[in-house]
Structure 1
Amino acid sequence: MPEQVRARALGAFYGLALGDALGMPTQSMSRARIKDRYGSITGLVDAAPDQPIAPGMPAGSVTDDTEQAVLVAKLLVEGRGRIDPHAFAGALRAWEADMIARGSRDLLGPSTKRALELLDAGLDPQQAGVTGATNGAAMRVTPVGIANPVGDRLLDAVAQASMVTHNTSLGIAAASAIAAAISASLDGADLGAALDEAERAADQGARRGKWVPGGEIGPRIRWARQWVRGMSRDNVADAVAEVIGTSVAAQESVVAAIALVEVLEHDALTVAAQIGGDTDTVGAMTGAILGAQHGLAGLPADQVGKVREVNRLELEPLVDELLALR
Structure 2
Amino acid sequence: MSMSTLTSTSSAQERVERARGAFYGLALGDAFGMPTQSLSRAQIAAQFGRITTLEDARTDQPIAPGMPAGSVTDDTEQAVLVGELLVAGQGTIEPRMFAQRLIEWEASMKARGSLDLLGPSTKRAIQMIIDGEAPDQSGRFGTTNGAAMRVTPVGIATDLHDRAAFIDAVVQSCRVTHNTTLGIASAAAVAAAVSAGIEGASLAEALDAGAALADAGEAHGYWVAGGRIGERIRWAREFVAQGPADAIPQKLYDVIGTSVASQESVVAAFALASDAAQRGIDIGASLGVAASLGGDTDTIAAMLGAILGACAGYRALPQDLIDTVRRVNRLDLDPLVGQLLALRARSA
Q: Normalising by structure 2, what TM-score?
A: 0.93
What is the alpha-carbon root mean square deviation over aligned residues? 0.8
Matches of 1:258 and 1:241, distance apart in 2: 14
Q: How far does residue 274 in structure 1 lie from its aligned partner after superposition?
A: 0.3
Q: Does 1:17 align with 2:27?
A: yes
Matching residue of 2:338: 320
Matches of 2:55 and 2:244, distance apart in 1: 25
* Structure 2 counterparts to residues 161-310 of structure 1, below 5 A: 161-264=173-276, 265-266=281-282, 267-310=285-328
Provide the secondary structure at the position in 2 that maps to 1:273: helix
Q: How far does residue 145 in structure 1 lie from its aligned partner after superposition?
A: 0.1
Matching residue of 2:36: 26
Runs of 4+ in structure 1 over 4 Å off:
none
Matches of 1:239 and 1:188, distance apart in 2: 31
User: Which amino acid letter does the alignment assign opposite residue 72 of structure 2?
Assistant: V
For residue 72 of structure 1, the aligned residue among 57, 75, 82 is 82
For residue 57 of structure 2, the aligned residue among 21, 43, 47 is 47
Matching residue of 2:91: 81
Out of 187-196 and 167-176, give the one that drifted further. Answer: 187-196
Q: How far does residue 232 in structure 1 lie from its aligned partner after superposition?
A: 3.2
For residue 137 of structure 2, the aligned residue among 127, 130, 142 is 127
Q: How far does residue 217 in structure 1 lie from its aligned partner after superposition?
A: 0.4
| Contact kept? 1:125, 1:164, Cα under 8 Å | yes
| Contact kept? 1:228, 1:239, Cα under 8 Å | no
Residues 157-184 of structure 1: CA distance to partner in whole angstroms, max 9, x if unpaired?
0001100000000000000000000000
Provide the secondary structure at the position in 2 that maps to 1:130: coil
Matches of 2:42 and 2:119, distance apart in 1: 24
Matches of 2:65 and 2:242, distance apart in 1: 37
Number of paired residues?
326
| Contact kept? 1:29, 1:277, Cα under 8 Å | yes
Matches of 1:181 and 1:18, distance apart in 2: 18
| Contact kept? 1:147, 1:322, Cα under 8 Å | yes
Q: How far does residue 234 in structure 1 lie from its aligned partner after superposition?
A: 2.1
Matches of 1:257 and 1:67, distance apart in 2: 19
Unaligned residue ranges in structure 2 (runs of 5+): 1-10
Matches of 2:130 and 2:241, distance apart in 1: 46
For residue 102 of structure 2, the aligned residue among 92, 95, 98 is 92
Matches of 2:57 and 2:175, distance apart in 1: 33
| Contact kept? 1:11, 1:296, Cα under 8 Å | yes
Matches of 1:50 and 1:37, distance apart in 2: 11
Matches of 1:220 and 1:230, distance apart in 2: 15
Matches of 1:96 and 1:122, distance apart in 2: 19
Q: How far does residue 233 in structure 1 lie from its aligned partner after superposition?
A: 3.1
| Contact kept? 1:62, 1:311, Cα under 8 Å | yes
Matches of 2:50 and 2:230, distance apart in 1: 32
| Contact kept? 1:115, 1:165, Cα under 8 Å | yes
For residue 103 of structure 1, the aligned residue among 113, 123, 140 is 113
User: Which amino acid letter does the alignment assign opposite residue 227 of structure 1?
Assistant: F
Matches of 1:268 and 1:217, distance apart in 2: 22
For residue 66 of structure 2, the aligned residue among 36, 56, 63 is 56
Matching residue of 2:5: none
Q: Does 1:311 align with 2:329?
A: yes
Matches of 1:270 and 1:284, distance apart in 2: 11
Q: How far does residue 40 in structure 1 lie from its aligned partner after superposition?
A: 1.8
Matching residue of 1:6: 16
Residues 150-208 of structure 1: CA distance to partner in whole angstroms, max 9, x if unpaired?
12221110001100000000000000000000000100111111111111100000011
Q: How far does residue 230 in structure 1 lie from its aligned partner after superposition?
A: 4.1
Residues 83-117 of structure 1: CA distance to partner in whole angstroms, max 9, x if unpaired?
00010000000000000000000000000000011
Out of 285-294 and 145-154, give the one that drifted further. Answer: 145-154
Matches of 2:206 and 2:305, distance apart in 1: 14
Matching residue of 1:142: 152
Unaligned residue ranges in structure 1 (runs of 5+): none
Matches of 1:74 and 1:60, distance apart in 2: 23
Matches of 1:321 and 1:154, distance apart in 2: 18
